Chain A
């Protein structure tokens, strides 16, 4: 049994070594004449502005949290799926309950708007898109 994983490990090691061989070839034959400009960070040809390692939008974090919950659910369901045929209807009920609880979780997240990528919905903007301006335009249209 374990030797299967040994095969996988060997595959990883062989793959790593072969890739490394490519790097060695590159070292031997590739040119080495770097300049400061060449080693600069790419930013559309401009000089890089400001810091890149900044705080990122919290939405990604929320997605990661939701992912963890549901991924663990999937992990729990895999053993069930394997033995489902042998254990029969009772486990069906149990899994139904389990999934229902998670569906409640999904419904909660959904309703609370955490699955919504664009949070803010601007009905009216400012300036010429402001509410009064748009209403005026509509009135003019109707009049016409």
Chain B
């Protein structure tokens, strides 16, 4: 490792470098703005993120690489998640312009913090060393705390930030302890060396190893809000600015899944490459069963508690826990079918969850309510909103003809494809799908069937919002139909970097 190697590796980090420049530029630019004009930082951020997105597409990931002594990986897998994150960021920033909560306040830092959050996630999805994993996880966490408490004078926002900090601090501390255990057991922080050391050395005590990996999983589980590390989710989601709630429920979750998948499928499998052969777990550690249990509990708890929610944000929060449970099914599979299913699900989930949140935010702005029972008759009053909400709810349930159905189908196909072992998990998943039908469709019930009256004057959403919603709906409805480009893309993005 010498200096010229570092300089060479920097060439593979174009999006990250652009993003860093963008962050600095946004900070400097915001210093010259007043409270009224600070929204311009947001415009700058969106424009910059578009450039970052372009540079991501321009990357050639045919030859994957380990950068900086294998601190981060450069591969198609990381790029896929980076693209999802960038897209989600652009959509959320766009929606933030229309969020009433954020009006009439200095807004520059909001966009700066979001950009730093994206920066952390970029490194999180490509991290291949326990140190870089932990560092980027901390960047993501700390920025999330700040953003959750962005509404300074709002007590709920403060409460959510404090809760988030406490839970986050504890879980990252536990994770750090797990990392130190792994380091003690294997003598390395590099995940490839950890894998090699585990594969070569059968003498490592399985119980201790299990403990170490469970402790590390606490950190990831907190990020993806898997039960039993989900307690922060509803309160944070309810208190944070609504756009940030939408963002937290998709982007850091996708990033958390990315790093979890890479970590487990590299360190705990016989060969580090999921593309070539079906993965086999290292014999002394039955982590798939453990994760299957977590997955089943997560989706069940998420769905059952969501049934009782009356606040749309809380309902969506619990539903996002349930979705984390579905996605964990793909991790259990240990096959590239599972990986590609998760990639697909992450993409679709980003769109549909963001869409649902955006509609909820719009309803809060226009009709000043977050309670589901107050949605009565909205489907007729504001047809556009009603139709959009219907699509998102169908998709979240996993009903055809939406993208959510296909995504769920891939997940179940992957799970059933590995044989009879996890049939029970698939059945639990199906039952949960039925349960979720109730609370998703309850929203539509209030919108359309509780009261049927056609008003004289229809509510019209502003054009900006309509365009945003259409942009989200079109791929959700038709993206999987025409040749299924997302599917081919995800199948090609499953290759991790393997040294």
Contacts and interface: CB of A to CB of B under 8 A. Distances in A.
Q: Do chains A and B touch in the complex (CB under 8 A)?
A: yes
B3 A90 contact: yes
Interface residues of chain B: helix, strand, loop or mixed (majority): helix
Contact of B24 (A87, A90, A91, A101): A101
B28 interface: yes
A108 B31 CA distance: 7
Contacts, number: 14
Interface in B185-207: none
A107 B31 contact: yes
B27 A104 contact: yes
A107 to B, nearest CB: 6
Contacts of B7: 90
Nearest to A97: B20
Interface string A72-97: 00000000000000010011000000
A29 B31 CA distance: 65
Contacts of B31: 107-108, 111
A104 B3 contact: no
Contacts of B28: 104, 107
Contacts of A91: 3
Interface string A111-129: 1000000000000000000
A108 B27 contact: yes
A100 B20 CA distance: 12
Contacts of A87: 3
B13 to A, nearest CB: 13
Contacts of A100: 24
Interface in B20-38: 24, 27-28, 31
Interface string A126-140: 000000000000000
A87 B6 CA distance: 13
Contacts of B27: 104, 108
A78 B31 CA distance: 30
A104 B27 CA distance: 8
A108 B23 CA distance: 12
Interface string B132-171: 0000000000000000000000000000000000000000
A2 to B, nearest CB: 25
Interface string B1-22: 0010001000000000000000
Contacts of A101: 24
A31 to B, nearest CB: 52
A101 B25 CA distance: 10
A25 to B, nearest CB: 48
Contacts of B3: 87, 90-91
Nearest to B4: A90
Interface string A16-60: 000000000000000000000000000000000000000000000
B265 to A, nearest CB: 34
Nearest to A107: B31
A73 B466 CA distance: 47
Contacts of B24: 100-101, 104
A104 to B, nearest CB: 5
A108 B26 CA distance: 11
Contacts of A111: 31
Nearest to B7: A90
A85 to B, nearest CB: 14
A107 B28 CA distance: 8
A104 B7 CA distance: 24
Contacts of A104: 24, 27-28
Interface in B21-69: 24, 27-28, 31
A90 B27 CA distance: 26
Interface in B377-397: none
A28 B7 CA distance: 69
B146 to A, nearest CB: 13
Contacts of A108: 27, 31
A10 to B, nearest CB: 33
Interface of B: 3, 7, 24, 27-28, 31
12 contacts: A90-B3, A90-B7, A91-B3, A100-B24, A101-B24, A104-B24, A104-B27, A107-B28, A107-B31, A108-B27, A108-B31, A111-B31
Interface of A: 87, 90-91, 100-101, 104, 107-108, 111
Give 8 nearest A-B pairs by CB, closest first: A111-B31, A104-B24, A90-B3, A104-B27, A108-B27, A104-B28, A107-B31, A101-B24
Given A104-B24, A104-B27, A111-B31, 11 more contacts: A87-B3, A90-B3, A90-B7, A91-B3, A100-B24, A101-B24, A104-B28, A107-B28, A107-B31, A108-B27, A108-B31
